[in-house]
Chain A
Amino acid sequence: ILNVEQSPQSLHVQEGDSTNFTCSFPSSNFYALHWYRWETAKSPEALFVMTLNGDEKKKGRISATLNTKEGYSYLYIKGSQPEDSATYLCARISNQFYFGTGTSLTVIP
């Protein structure tokens, strides 16, 4: 089993604050890294698919970076809003998807 670790496990921030969290994974046999957002009572939705070392992806106020050599990815949220409250999952893809345990974000109005 390839361990994908996410930190912190949970996070509370004030509306308007910027925040970031980490996904760490084994760097060998790397194929791709995915980020998903999972809101309560909904299904997980894909945010980013990242494959190349040094990749940076952005969607609105959310961005992500990838370092495949050292085995980590950061997810950044600029100016957090209450609607950003969700669990953020990363998944390392080799022959299948290996998910981390997620970071639970709560944005306090």
Chain B
Amino acid sequence: DTGVSQDPRHKITKRGQNVTFRCDPISEHNRLYWYRQTLGQGPEFLTYFQNEAQLEKSRLLSDRFSAERPKGSFSTLEIQRTEQGDSAMYLCASSSRDRDNSPLHFGNGTRLTVT
């Protein structure tokens, strides 16, 4: 168990550019979550996968955000035409469906800065 890993750790981009982040969950976990955290706020839900199926997506998420988990393993989160308001910490977490009360295991996050 190597834990949840996210890449990159930091990303600085200019407004209008597209960015893509990657998350590798714990291998036996079939649930994967993306969260966004801004200063002074708790993690805000973005989207959730069970295996390769995207089961829920936040209504707050604009069409510029898309996430995939093509083989039910790693996941990518893409932000198109980035805006300064997208600057935040993007956290990925995974959990095991076999235990519905299982806690989330978080990665170290990707910090995005849009200039």
Q: Which A residues are closer than 8 A to B by beta carbons?
A: 4, 6, 31-32, 34, 36, 42-46, 49, 51, 89, 91, 93, 95-102
Contacts and interface: CB of A to CB of B under 8 A. Distances in A.
Say whether chain A's binding surface is mostly helix, strand, loop, or mixed: strand
B43 A99 contact: yes
Interface of B: 4, 33, 35, 40-45, 48, 56, 91, 100-109
B42 A100 contact: yes
Nearest to B109: A43
A34 B103 contact: yes
12 contacts: A34-B104, A36-B104, A43-B4, A43-B91, A43-B109, A49-B102, A89-B42, A95-B56, A96-B56, A98-B45, A99-B42, A99-B44
A101 B106 CA distance: 17
